[in-house]
Amino acid sequence: MKIVYIVTRSDSIGGAHVHVRDLAVALRAAGHETIVASGQMGPFDEMLAEQGIPHYPLRHLVRAPLPWKDAAALFEIRALLRKLRPDLVSTHSAKAGWLGRAAAPSLRIPVLSTAHGWSFTTGVPAVAARLYRWGESLTAPFANRIITVSEYDRALAIRYRVAPPEKLVTVHNGMPDIAPWLRADPSAAPVRFVMVARFEPQKDHVTLLHALAGLRADPWELTLIGDGPLRPRAEALAQRLGIADRVRFLGARRDVAKQMAGHQVFLLITNWEGFPRSILEAMRAGLPVVASAVGGVCESLVDGETGFAVARGDVATLRARLALLLHDPSLRARMGAAGRERYEGCFTLGHMLKQTLAIYAELTGRPVETIAPAELPVPRATGGAPRPAALGGPIQVPSP
């Protein structure tokens, strides 16, 4: 089977990008042909090249709503699909979903969209939420099926009548396992907290820093992995709160699993989410998790068992939960072990792949073979491989 994955952007790497990479690598190992197309160039296409996944750049596909660019991107995507003639198109992220749904049906190619958290979820600014809701509702009829990565998102789509219930199916994210030496030791001291998140309005580094500022009497360190336009503001806030000497800003990293192994507690303090893969990464490493109770977070994190869920923006409760973990190494170890057990039982790549391939088979009318979970490939560590040129160069697009 030949599958083309379409993602909006390549200039940054988020959960949707890792999701696509893992699917593409696993299916290719089972003998299928997997191809990725995305807008712009950057770390994502480099990641794909390092894994040997063919990548086509879409020069007109951009994240911002620009009607003239979007029209050109639609023609560009259609030209690529006509050239490649895949058995299935799988779109990821909002803009890629809209345009991929519009392009594929005219070529009689089934199209599957995956919503990695709706852009109209609770916490998104009202004007932007209405725009994204309109875009999803307008293009949803062209999708053969829509995967939501959480039950929360499926219910949200039904509530706003984005798509009929029978078209929506939930498949929770899953991740390949790590080597045993990448497991963390939550009971170690002093406690090192870690959060992996871009510095953008979606994430709430401000609430986290204020919570930790009230725990200055305790020994702790905080590592913030990620980059983005709001990083300077967070650095300035850490200075004003008097905790800058205990906060490390590492920027974007390609060795997140290794970084997590050296910490004791994982944090995801945020304003809105779909079903965060970073929480699965933390549970996979055996770390207790403290996260904002938004979106589908509580479908992975079990409050009081694998960590703590805290209301969005609640500084006092967040501080209290962090203090509990700071002072009790046995609690950290117990929650970390429970998180690892939950990952193994529900959120491995094998779990996600089985459900996803059943949908592929339904849409194409063909059985989709895979390999046993124990034989699933672990994506190679990135950063050392040379970057070949993108396949084929830009697609020639007729004037819209």
CATH number at residue 219: 3.40.50.2000
Same domain, 184 and 126: no
Inside any domain, residue 383 = no
What band does 394 get if pLDDT is binned at 50, 70 and 90?
very low
Q: Are residues 14 and 156 in the same domain?
A: yes
State the pLDDT at residue 388: 35
CB-based burial label for 238 (10 Å; 0-12, 13-18, 19+): buried
- Please say if the pLDDT value at position 383 is more than 80: no
The reply to whether 19 falls in a domain is yes
> Which of the four pLDDT bands, split at 50, 70 and 90, describes residue 393?
very low
Mean local confidence (pLDDT), 361-384: 67
Q: pLDDT tens-digit profile of 208-255? A: 999 999 999 999 999 999 999 999 999 999 999 999 999 999 998 889
In a shared domain, residues 133 and 261? no
Q: Is the Cβ–Cβ distance between 256 and 226 less than 8 Å? A: no
Out of 51-55, 128-132, 335-339, 372-376, the most confident range is: 335-339
User: Would residue 386 count as lying in a domain?
Assistant: no
Highest mean pLDDT among 133-142, 288-297, 385-394: 288-297
Claim to verify: residue 318 and residue 189 sit in the same structural domain: yes
pLDDT of residue 201: 93
Answer yes or no: is pLDDT of 1 > 70. Answer: yes
pTM: 0.85
Instruction: Please indicate, yes or no, whether residues 245 and 104 belong to a single structural domain of this protein.
Output: no
Residue 251 forms part of a structural domain: yes
In a domain, 393, yes or no: no
Residue 398 lies in a domain: no
For residues 107 and 288, what is the distance between their CA atoms, to the nearest angstrom? 48
196 and 322 in one domain? yes
pLDDT given for residue 395 in this prediction? 39
Residue 400 lies in a domain: no
Q: Looking at the structure, do residues 327 and 232 belong to the same domain, yes or no?
A: yes
Q: Give the pLDDT mean for 333-353.
A: 96
Which is higher by pLDDT, 400 or 296? 296
pLDDT, tens only, 15-43: 889 899 999 999 998 889 999 999 978 88
The parent domain of residue 203 ranges over 180-346
Tokens of 26: 């696993």
Written as one string, the DSSP assignment of 56-121 is EEETT--SS--HHHHHHHHHHHHHHHHHH--SEEEEESHHHHHHHHHHSGGGT--EEEEESS-TTS
As for how many domains the chain has, the answer is 2
The answer, yes or no, to whether residue 285 has pLDDT greater than 90, is yes
Shared domain for 222 and 204, answered yes or no, is: yes
